[in-house]
Amino acid sequence: MSTVFNLAFLAVVPFWALMIFAPTWSWTTRIVTSPLILIPGLVVWAVAAIPVFGDMWTGVTMPSLAFWSDFLRDDHAVAAIWAQVLAWDLFIGRWIFLDSRARGIHPLIMAPLLVFTILLSPIGLPLYLVVRLGFRARTERARVGSAV
C-alpha cells in the first residue's frame, strides 16, 4: 500500500510544479484550465479506497472519533484519505491559480501561496482570499469566482 500512498503525490505534483514554477507558460494555462487534471489523483484514490469503501462509507455517514481512530490504522484507509486530501488540495490550488491569473496577481506572490496550499490548504486558501482582496477582477467571470 505504500506504493499507492506514494502514487497519490506523484499523480498531483506535476500540476503543482506547472502552477508554481511555470505559471506563465502557455501550456500551463492550457493544462490547468482542464478539470481533467483532477483525474489522476482520483484514480489513485479509487485504487486505495475500493478495499475499504464499505468501512469508509460507514465513517462518513455515521462519524465518530472512535471509528476514525480505528479506521486510520489500516494502510488502505490512510492511503485513501491521503489521496483524497491531495486531490482536494489540487482542486483548491487549481481554482487559486486560475483566479489569480484572471486577476493579474504576479506569479512571485502566488508561488508561496500555492506552496502553502499544497502543504496545508487550510492556510493557503485563507491567505489567498486575503491577497485577492487587493486585486480587482478583470472580467465578470472572475468577479463571480470562475477564473477562466
Q: What is the DSSP letter of 115?
A: H
Q: What is the DSSP letter of 147?
A: -
Lowest mean pLDDT among 23-27, 121-125, 140-144: 140-144
What is the rounded CA–CA span in Å between residue 72 and residue 78? 6
The pLDDT, as a whole number, for residue 142 is: 54
Alpha helices in the chain (DSSP H): 2-21, 26-32, 39-49, 53-61, 65-71, 75-103, 107-119, 121-132, 140-143
Residue 141: pLDDT band (50, 70, 90) is low
The pLDDT, as a whole number, for residue 51 is: 94
Concatenated DSSP letters of 45-82: HHHHHGGGHHHHHHHHHS--HHHHHHHTTSHHHHHHHH
Residue 145: pLDDT band (50, 70, 90) is low
C-alpha cell read off for 107: 506569479
Mean pLDDT of the chain: 92
pTM here is 0.88
Cα four-point dihedral sign 18, 33, 147, 45? negative
C-beta of residue 133 within 8 angstroms of C-beta of residue 103: no
Helices and strands, counts by H and E, the chain = 9, 0
The pLDDT, as a whole number, for residue 30 is: 95
The pLDDT, as a whole number, for residue 22 is: 97
What is the rounded CA–CA span in Å between residue 98 and residue 92? 10
| pLDDT tens track for 26-46 | 999 999 999 999 999 999 999
Average pLDDT over residues 103-130: 95
